[in-house]
């Protein structure tokens, strides 16, 4: 049977998942093997017309929904991140495993840096998003995604940009828990985490629970100081969580899943202070920097954040703990040229010197592999 006209666009995986079907169940309905469904979804095999009709019948949709007509502009299907509002159609692109992921270029937090070149233009949104690349696809294949909240990742990104080779590090800030979730779901190549305050090494415990088919490594990026960011002179006398209740103090918290929120809740439990006693416990800052801005504006009296962020905003800082910010890197991504460059750059004196110059950062363990993560 003659195969379909070869196309880069195949929505089989997204339609199957929207129907709640596993690859094995769809294969059973169509008289195929699960491996056959997998290679079709990954784009490594183009099915015959007969097989394509079987897939459409088995999944319960029109054939054109799975295999739309080939586009003359060579558009590609992309997965867009959850809970992100597209302000413009401009995207950064990277290939993770067998699919493309797209991230909005124009976000409010980047507005003061001016506009920059995008990788693609979004042509159609969810549930079956399409984008038209603006750069050679072989260059975009070398892009890689790092998700994590440490502002120091910007230094790593910029140092990697000085290396004369195609591809870029795409860095997106997210909570530690969200970073792990995106990594596990195939939305990124590397996740940055900082969980502290529990029993034992919480970063290692969380990383070990990940479902990584070939395992991975937990690598140290940096140590930094985390503490209370307060107005100059610390007018409310904040020194511990006990000072956040009963003193007309307004706190600004972080979102659930963030390492800072985890630490704050641990401190509350140890001090025997209930969350409802904290004015502003439910008010959220989206990042360390956002927390500092809120305190500067007088919207809050105190926020948890980094010493470096407090200094940038001209705030006083009361230290709480030294935090290890670590990178989770799956084995399947270690051979990606961009990820390999990242690991090499983490060993360089140039990066360590630059990070060490940021107040509160300590880099003696930067680039050290802390643990091998099991395959599961």
- CATH number at 12-66: 1.10.260.40
- Residue with the bigger pLDDT between 6 and 117: it is 117
pLDDT tens readout for residues 167-183: 899 999 899 999 999 99
Residue 50 token pair:
């007969």
Across the chain, mean pLDDT equals: 89
Q: Are 192 and 149 in contact (CB under 8 A)?
A: yes
Q: What H or E segment, with its residue span, contains residue 51?
A: helix 49-59
For 126-147, the pLDDT digits (tens) are 778 899 999 888 889 999 999 9
Copy the structure tokens of residue 150: 């440490």
Rounded Cα gap, residues 195 and 190, in angstroms: 16
Compute how many other C-beta atoms are within 10 angstroms of the C-beta atom of residue 54. 17
Give the pLDDT confidence of 258-297 residue by residue, as tens digits: 999 999 999 999 999 999 999 999 999 989 999 999 999 9
Place 121 in a pLDDT band, splitting at 50, 70 and 90.
very high
How would you class 142 by CB atoms within 10 Å of its CB: exposed for 0-12, middle for 13-18, buried for 19 or more? middle
Token code pair at residue 261: 């929120």
The distance from CA 337 to its chain's CA centroid, rounded to whole angstroms, is 19
pLDDT at residue 1 greater than cutoff 50: no
The predicted structure's pLDDT at residue 199? 60
Instruction: Check for a shared fold between 12-66 and 211-376.
Output: no
Q: What is the mean pLDDT of residues 232-250?
A: 91
Q: Kindly tell me if the per-residue pLDDT of 6 is higher than 60.
A: no
For residue range 302-316, list pLDDT tens digits in order.
999 999 999 999 999
Q: Give the domain 211-376 fold.
A: D-Maltodextrin-Binding Protein; domain 2 (3.40.190)
User: What are the extents of the domains in the chain?
Assistant: 12-66, 211-376
């Amino acid at each position: 049977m003659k195969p379909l006209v070869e196309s880069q666009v195949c929505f089989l995986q997204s339609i199957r998942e929207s129907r709640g079907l596993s690859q094995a169940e769809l294969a059973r309905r169509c008289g195929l093997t699960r491996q056959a469904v997998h290679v079709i979804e990954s784009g490594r095999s183009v099915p015959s017309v007969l097989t394509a009709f079987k897939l459409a019948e088995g999944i319960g949709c029109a054939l054109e929904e799975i295999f739309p007509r080939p586009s003359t502009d060579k558009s590609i299907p992309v997965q867009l991140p959850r809970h992100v509002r597209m302000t413009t159609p401009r995207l950064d692109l990277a290939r993770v495993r067998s699919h493309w992921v797209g991230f909005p270029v124009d976000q409010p937090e980047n507005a003061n840096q001016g506009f920059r070149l995008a990788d693609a233009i979004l042509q159609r949104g969810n549930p079956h998003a399409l984008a038209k690349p603006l750069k050679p696809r072989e260059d975009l294949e070398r892009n890689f995604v790092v998700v994590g909240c440490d502002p120091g990742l910007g230094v790593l990104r910029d140092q990697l940009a000085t290396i004369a080779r195609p591809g870029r590090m795409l860095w997106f800030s997210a909570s530690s828990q969200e970073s792990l979730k995106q990594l596990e779901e195939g939305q990124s190549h590397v996740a940055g985490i900082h969980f502290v305050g529990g029993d034992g090494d919480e970063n290692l415990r969380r990383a070990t629970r990940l479902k990584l088919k070939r395992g991975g490594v937990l690598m140290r990026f940096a140590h930094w100081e985390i503490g209370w960011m307060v107005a100059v002179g610390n007018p409310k006398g904040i020194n511990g969580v006990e000072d956040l209740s009963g003193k007309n103090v307004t706190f600004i918290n972080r979102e659930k899943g963030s390492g800072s929120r985890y630490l704050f809740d641990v401190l509350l439990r140890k001090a025997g202070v209930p969350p409802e006693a904290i004015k502003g416990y439910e008010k959220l800052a989206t990042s360390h920097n956002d927390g500092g801005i809120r305190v500067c504006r007088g919207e809050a009296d105190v926020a948890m954040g980094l010493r470096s962020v407090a200094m940038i905003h001209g705030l006083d800082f009361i230290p709480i703990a030294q935090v290890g910010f670590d990178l989770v890197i799956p084995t399947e991504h270690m051979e990606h040229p961009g990820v390999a460059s990242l690991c090499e750059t983490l060993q360089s004196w140039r990066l360590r010197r630059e990070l060490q110059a940021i107040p509160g950062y300590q880099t003696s363990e930067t680039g050290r592999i802390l643990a091998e993560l099991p395959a599961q």
